[in-house]
Structure 1
Amino acid sequence: MQGKQLSRSDTLFMAACSGLVVANIYYCQPLLVLIAKDFNIPESRAGRIAWLTQTGYACGLLLLVPLGDIMERRKQILLCMVATTGSLALSAWSPTFGVLQVAAFLVGASSISAQLILPLAAHLAPDNRRGSVIGTIMGGIIVGILASRSVSGSLGAVFGWREIYYIAAGIAAVLLVLMRWRFPQSYPSFKGSYGQLMASILYYIRTQPALRQASFRNFMSFAALSSFWVTMVLFLSAPPFGYQSATIGLFGLAGAASALASPLVGKRSDGQGARMNIWIGLVMELLSFAAFYFTGSSLFLLVLGIILVDVGHQTIQISNQTIIYSILPEARNRFNTVFMTSTFIGGACGSAIGIGLWNIGHWPLFCAGTALMVLINVIVTATVSAKP
């Protein structure tokens, strides 16, 4: 990748790298039952690994991603990959659940490379293709998420959950080499200090309503999505299903439609299509939780709901990203910091809320509570987001 041109092969390579990196955040979800058995703890307690990973990711987004507007971007990506490799190895080695919790946080905090690649790609892409490029890379991220859940669930049941993390550490090491060879150097225009950089984030939050609105929409949308994926493991491992981690992991493949839909959503988001896409995504999320509520022992409704909730969230996220990346090109990393930090704080909150609702009222209360999250997003989008 030389200069400021982004070819189709460049975009696909970035998409593959982003997907493999973001997979690190989701390997743990189908493995929660195995982790609980290994450390002899309740499955609900093992669920901490999921939201600690997401909390770490949110911290990395807040504190590290803005550096992409002040330091050479390829160097930052490579340093993050070194930390990712080490934290994944620590997860695999963890002798106690306490160590694993620390390692989970570090995995999340260091696995921010995908959110450094996205602003870089948006910077290299021409204005009339920015939405399409973002959609393609988001498609790669979705494939990484889906593959991580399915592969970790299937292989974890055969080899054990620790081996999954050792494999992930090896993949991260290979990516480090490939990124060093393939990614271009990219120098930012911001000349101030780190303190001034962080202060400017607060300034943009105050002065950019579109950034605030997009961040809130994604906070609520990802909270609902994360709540489902964590709680689904508990739902499918309990009667009447009683599935093992290998089978549970396969349900991640039902979300493949979101990976296929991402490039199309990106194209529709170029120009003025982003705001209409947001409404389509919100409606899909509402329909998904209606399907989940009436699932009972029907796998058809569960699979239908998975497709709707995944495609719905990706439609909302890609549309939001297309909007914010079009505002101030020189501040894309900082905008992405606000946007993605909000998103993964939402994910951590959603995971914790989902487990809490399950513990209180199991699947019916979980579905009703999470549908309320989506409804709040609808109401705020219809009122606040309509204002300039």
Structure 2
Amino acid sequence: MSAETGTAAETSPPTIGRARTLLLAVLCGAAVANIYYAQPLLTTIGEAFGVGDGTAGLLVTASQVGYATALALLVPLGDLLERRRLVTVLLAACAVVLALAAAAPGFGLLAAAIALVGVTSAVAQIAVPLAASLAGDHERGQVVGTVMSGLLIGILGARTVAGFVAEAGGWRWVFGAAAGVMVLLAVVVRLGLPVVPPTESATYPRLLRSVLGLVRREPELRRRMALGAVGMGCFTILWTSIDFLLSAPPYGYGPAIVGLFGLAGLAGAGMAVLAGKLADRGHQRLVVTLGLLVLAGSWALLGLGGVSLLALIAGVVALDLAQQALQISHQSVIYALAPQARSRVTTAFMVSTFAGGTLASGATVLVYPAGGWAGVCVLGGVIALLGVGIWFLPRT
């Protein structure tokens, strides 16, 4: 009996386990939420420090710049250092700078702390390849999908959470509570995850150069980077401009309702797991094809959403479902390209994705004053169709 048990154990494929998967999903969501908490609090913070809306808006820029810097320079360390320790240290550091933000006596120090929050919150992008490394080949897509669903919930839920906490105790409590969450996660990660040895022994400068080498050598990585930029561009266009639409006629909603509206996008979290399962079964191409078509079609619904609340909600759900499915498929594929360099692959993919979102955000700010909601929807539709074209280009 014991021999049979031993044989079964030896032949059973490795698995990360449900508890560890959920832990990493919560970690990703809580970490990425840190860079979005300030968005609904800008007016309140500006009033507290006596600065205008334009100056207060620099807090969002500070967090994004910090996050982008970490994507390029910090995330590759996931291949060079023991990952459980790296994640734990970054969570602890994030707790410190969040506490500094909560206690900041002046706007300048708050902005500096928020920038460092952006840097340390990039631990979310170290956790995703960590999950992929701990997962077995048979479950990697599903595991990545589950972890990424946590990421999406963190992005879309941060506004609502910040609004409710600030309403109850003031804006400083938002950052103070987030610091406490980071401390708790650091302890749980230390106790709940195994040691994950590094996969690279190169020097740090060589490690960074190798990211460019991966991009040059892997045409499929370049394709997925471009598609990642397209998907994040559409996602950013929607969430940059929808507040303007909802706060103006014919809707005229207040900040609380506008913040709650973002919860409609959480439908994409469920799609992450389904897309991951399909990826595990070899259907990545089908997922991407359908995802891009739905992404393009969602802009037609969103265009009607200028006068129809039902169409607007349907368009938001469709776009977020498509974006989440696409993101999971892309990451399942790129992690298989270079199993020993998953953190560096993540850096290449996420820098491209983030760049797409940043450029789209800038374009939205230019288009909306001139073309309104209709102009924004045309912009999003054109970018989505560009993604369809990239996908159907011949493979090299």
Fold match, TM over 0.5?
A: yes
The answer to whether the 8 A contact 1:50-1:230 is kept is: no
Identity, % of aligned positions: 38
Q: Deviations over 1:9-50 (max 9, x none)?
A: 221222122221122122233334544555666656655444
Shift of 1:106: 2.1
The answer to whether the 8 A contact 1:155-1:246 is kept is: no
Structure 2 residue aligned with 1:276, among 277, 282, 286? 286
Shift of 1:64: 0.6
The answer to whether the 8 A contact 1:157-1:245 is kept is: no
Shift of 1:382: 2.0
Query: Does 2:354 align with 1:341?
Result: no
Structure 2 residue aligned with 1:330, among 308, 328, 340? 340
Provide closer, same or farther for how the CA distance between residues 53 and 372 of structure 1 changes in structure 2, counting only shifts above 3 A. farther
- The aligned runs of 1:105-254 (5 Å cut-off) are 105-254=115-264
Q: Secondary structure at the match of 2:336?
A: coil
Shift of 1:160: 3.6
Specify the code of the residue in structure 2 equivalent to 1:307: V
Looking at structure 2, the residues matched to 188 and 37 of structure 1 have their Cα atoms a distance apart, in angstroms, of: 47
Provide closer, same or farther for how the CA distance between residues 10 and 100 of structure 1 changes in structure 2, counting only shifts above 3 A. same
Structure 1 residue aligned with 2:270, among 254, 260, 267? 260
Provide closer, same or farther for how the CA distance between residues 50 and 231 of structure 1 changes in structure 2, counting only shifts above 3 A. farther
Specify the code of the residue in structure 2 equivalent to 1:81: L
- The aligned runs of 1:292-307 (5 Å cut-off) are 292-307=302-317
Computing the radius of gyration from Cα coordinates, the structure with the larger value is: 2
Provide closer, same or farther for how the CA distance between residues 188 and 343 of structure 1 changes in structure 2, counting only shifts above 3 A. same
Provide closer, same or farther for how the CA distance between residues 51 and 232 of structure 1 changes in structure 2, counting only shifts above 3 A. farther
The answer to whether the 8 A contact 2:20-2:193 is kept is: no
Structure 2 residue aligned with 1:53, among 33, 56, 63? 63
The answer to whether the 8 A contact 2:15-2:139 is kept is: no
Looking at structure 2, the residues matched to 22 and 229 of structure 1 have their Cα atoms a distance apart, in angstroms, of: 16
Q: Unmatched 5+ residue regions in structure 1?
A: none
- The aligned runs of 1:22-61 (5 Å cut-off) are 22-35=32-45, 38=48, 46-61=56-71
Structure 2 residue aligned with 1:387, among 379, 391, 395? 395
Q: Secondary structure at the match of 2:269?
A: helix
Structure 2 residue aligned with 1:64, among 74, 81, 95? 74
Provide closer, same or farther for how the CA distance between residues 370 and 110 of structure 1 changes in structure 2, counting only shifts above 3 A. same
The answer to whether the 8 A contact 2:245-2:306 is kept is: no
- The aligned runs of 1:342-381 (5 Å cut-off) are 342-381=352-391
Provide closer, same or farther for how the CA distance between residues 222 and 257 of structure 1 changes in structure 2, counting only shifts above 3 A. same
Q: Counterpart of 1:86?
A: 96
Specify the code of the residue in structure 1 equivalent to 2:35: I
Q: Unmatched 5+ residue regions in structure 2?
A: 1-12
Looking at structure 2, the residues matched to 290 and 51 of structure 1 have their Cα atoms a distance apart, in angstroms, of: 30
The answer to whether the 8 A contact 2:302-2:312 is kept is: yes
Q: Secondary structure at the match of 1:345?
A: helix
Shift of 1:267: 0.4
Provide closer, same or farther for how the CA distance between residues 189 and 310 of structure 1 changes in structure 2, counting only shifts above 3 A. same
- Structure 1 window deviating more from structure 2 (86-95 vs 279-288): it is 86-95
Provide closer, same or farther for how the CA distance between residues 23 and 319 of structure 1 changes in structure 2, counting only shifts above 3 A. same
Q: TM-score, normalised by structure 2?
A: 0.89
The answer to whether the 8 A contact 1:151-1:249 is kept is: no
Higher relative contact order (CA 8 A, sep 6+): 1
The answer to whether the 8 A contact 2:129-2:343 is kept is: yes
Q: Secondary structure at the match of 1:82?
A: helix
Looking at structure 1, the residues matched to 262 and 92 of structure 2 have their Cα atoms a distance apart, in angstroms, of: 28
Looking at structure 2, the residues matched to 376 and 335 of structure 1 have their Cα atoms a distance apart, in angstroms, of: 23
Looking at structure 2, the residues matched to 93 and 205 of structure 1 have their Cα atoms a distance apart, in angstroms, of: 42
Q: Secondary structure at the match of 2:188?
A: helix
Query: Does 2:317 align with 1:310?
Result: no
Specify the code of the residue in structure 2 equivalent to 1:172: M
Looking at structure 2, the residues matched to 220 and 175 of structure 1 have their Cα atoms a distance apart, in angstroms, of: 32
Q: Counterpart of 1:8?
A: 18
CA RMSD across the alignment: 2.3
Specify the code of the residue in structure 2 equivalent to 1:115: Q
Structure 1 residue runs of 4 or more that deviate by more than 6 Å after TM superposition: none
Q: TM-score, normalised by structure 1?
A: 0.91
Query: Does 2:108 align with 1:103?
Result: no
Specify the code of the residue in structure 2 equivalent to 1:270: D
- Structure 1 window deviating more from structure 2 (113-122 vs 86-95): it is 86-95
Looking at structure 1, the residues matched to 185 and 28 of structure 2 have their Cα atoms a distance apart, in angstroms, of: 10
The answer to whether the 8 A contact 1:156-1:246 is kept is: no
Provide closer, same or farther for how the CA distance between residues 120 and 98 of structure 1 changes in structure 2, counting only shifts above 3 A. same
Looking at structure 2, the residues matched to 42 and 298 of structure 1 have their Cα atoms a distance apart, in angstroms, of: 34
The answer to whether the 8 A contact 2:288-2:329 is kept is: yes
Provide closer, same or farther for how the CA distance between residues 32 and 115 of structure 1 changes in structure 2, counting only shifts above 3 A. same
- Structure 1 window deviating more from structure 2 (203-212 vs 252-261): it is 252-261
Provide closer, same or farther for how the CA distance between residues 278 and 9 of structure 1 changes in structure 2, counting only shifts above 3 A. same
Shift of 1:127: 0.9
Query: Matched residue pairs, number?
Result: 384
Provide closer, same or farther for how the CA distance between residues 179 and 258 of structure 1 changes in structure 2, counting only shifts above 3 A. same
The answer to whether the 8 A contact 1:36-1:46 is kept is: yes
Q: Deviations over 1:67-113 (max 9, x none)?
A: 11111111211221122223323433445555444333322221122
